[in-house]
Amino acid sequence: MKLNLDLKSLKEVLDAMNAKKVFIQLPDGLKIKSQEIDYALKKFSPIFSLDPIYGACDLQENYHNLCGADVTIHFGHNEFCKPSKKTIFWPCYYDITAPELNDIKNKLIKKFKGKKIILTYSIQYKKIVDELIKIKEIKFIKGNINKTIKEPGQILGCNASTIPFDEKLDAIVYLGDGYFHPSAIRESIDVFRLFPFRNIEKINLNLQEKKRKDMLKYIIKDKTNFGIFITRKEGQKSLENAYKVKELLEQNNKSVMLLWGDNLSNDKIIGQGFEVIVNTACPRIVDDYQNYKPILIVNPKHIFSAFK
């Protein structure tokens, strides 16, 4: 199994756009391919971002403008939001051999024969999923699509809404590496991970974490000093949401400051007297809550729940 960057097709797209200079965003897992990409795209004077890329929503269009690029190429993700500038989302898909595909099929049949399941995935595995759902021994349920996710059954680290829970599924099977994407699934249903060349494993979702989030609304009410983080990133920026939160907090006699930046970290907010930071950027930032102690970090939904 090999990830196909399809750089030949990308060059054709850039030529058609008459691009002279490109700005490139690579998620950490693709940075080992940076030399290969740089060599292939030399004629387009590539400039690479050194900052981390957390998902398709993580668009660095401010850098695009500052370096004078004609096009930003966002590798490893399909389109999540409509960029305001010329941004190309370049997902990159895995190619798989027939023996490798048969191995995965046999594992699925052995584990889920006669069962009703949905195959979810991160975008790199879409072409493999398209082949696997042809298995006749398993009843595959088609995933949903929505404004954010255009591929049925695809899930993001912040969004598992393409899973049709009303279908009374026997199980959810995630095809991909790591646990970040399937950890977005919060419902009580058996979730399995199938990573090629390994056995199917059941994932134990963190129910204790769910209980902690349920308790936040009671803790928040006792706090006084709030900061609201707003990111500059186009795919995550939510000024409207930030002002709604600010208005609600001030109606409940809380002290509120608006904070603006690219990324949120403890060293940027410590020492300013905040008891709570309301994060209006990527909702999964709050999963790193232990890195912000003693400051409490929450999402807008926790504020709306506490003061509804």
Residue 149: give its domain's CATH number.
Answer: 3.40.50.11850
pLDDT > 70 in the chain, percent: 95
Same domain for 100 and 195, yes or no, is yes
For residue 43, give the CATH number of its domain.
3.40.50.11840
124-176 pLDDT, tens digit per residue, is 999 999 999 999 999 999 999 888 888 999 999 888 889 998 888 999 999 98
At 86 the pLDDT is 85
pLDDT interval class at 4 (50, 70, 90): very high
Q: Are 192 and 174 in contact (CB under 8 A)?
A: yes
In sequence order, what are the residues at sequence separation of 6 or more whose Cβ sits closer than 8 angstroms to the Cβ of residue 116? 139, 141, 167, 168, 169, 170
Same domain for 297 and 232, yes or no, is yes
pTM of the complete model: 0.81
Per-residue pLDDT for 19 more than 90? yes
Number of domains in the chain: 3
Pick from 226, 232, 233: which is nearest to 299 by CA?
Answer: 226
Same domain for 71 and 103, yes or no, is no
Q: CB pairs under 8 A, 24+ apart, for 14-18?
A: 14/41, 14/44, 14/71, 17/70, 17/71, 17/86, 18/70
Same domain for 127 and 89, yes or no, is no
At 61 the pLDDT is 80
At 300 the pLDDT is 94
Per-residue pLDDT for 298 more than 60? yes
Q: 3-state DSSP call for residue 73?
A: strand
Same domain for 230 and 143, yes or no, is no
Pick from 197, 268, 261, 274: which is nearest to 233 by CA?
Answer: 261
Domain housing 133: 96-203
Same domain for 141 and 160, yes or no, is yes
Query: Which residue would you say has higher pLDDT here, 20 or 146?
Result: 20
Q: Are 104 and 194 in contact (CB under 8 A)?
A: yes
Same domain for 138 and 214, yes or no, is no
* Mean of per-residue pLDDT scores for the chain: 90
**What is the DSSP pairing of strand 47-48 with strand 22-25?**
parallel
166-210 pLDDT, tens digit per residue, is 888 999 999 988 888 888 887 778 999 998 778 899 987 655 566
Q: Are 49 and 60 in contact (CB under 8 A)?
A: yes
Which residues, listed in sequence order, are joined to residue 4 by a DSSP beta bridge? 93
At 185 the pLDDT is 82
Same domain for 222 and 192, yes or no, is no
Q: Which of 45, 79, 94 is the last residue of a domain?
A: 94
Q: 3-state DSSP call for residue 141?
A: coil
Average pLDDT over residues 37-46: 97
CA 105/CA 109 separation, integer angstroms: 6
Same domain for 163 and 136, yes or no, is yes
Same domain for 90 and 100, yes or no, is no
Which residues, listed in sequence order, are joined to residue 277 by a DSSP beta bridge? 227, 297
Per-residue pLDDT for 256 more than 90? yes
pLDDT interval class at 236 (50, 70, 90): confident
For residue 217, give the CATH number of its domain.
3.40.50.11860
Same domain for 215 and 283, yes or no, is yes
Q: Which of 52, 72, 94 is the last residue of a domain?
A: 94
At 157 the pLDDT is 85
Please return the burial class of 215, using the count of CB atoms within 10 Å of its CB with bins 0-12, 13-18 and 19+.
exposed
At 210 the pLDDT is 61
Q: Which of 203, 227, 245 is the last residue of a domain?
A: 203
At 83 the pLDDT is 67
Q: Are 242 and 257 in contact (CB under 8 A)?
A: no
Same domain for 199 and 213, yes or no, is no
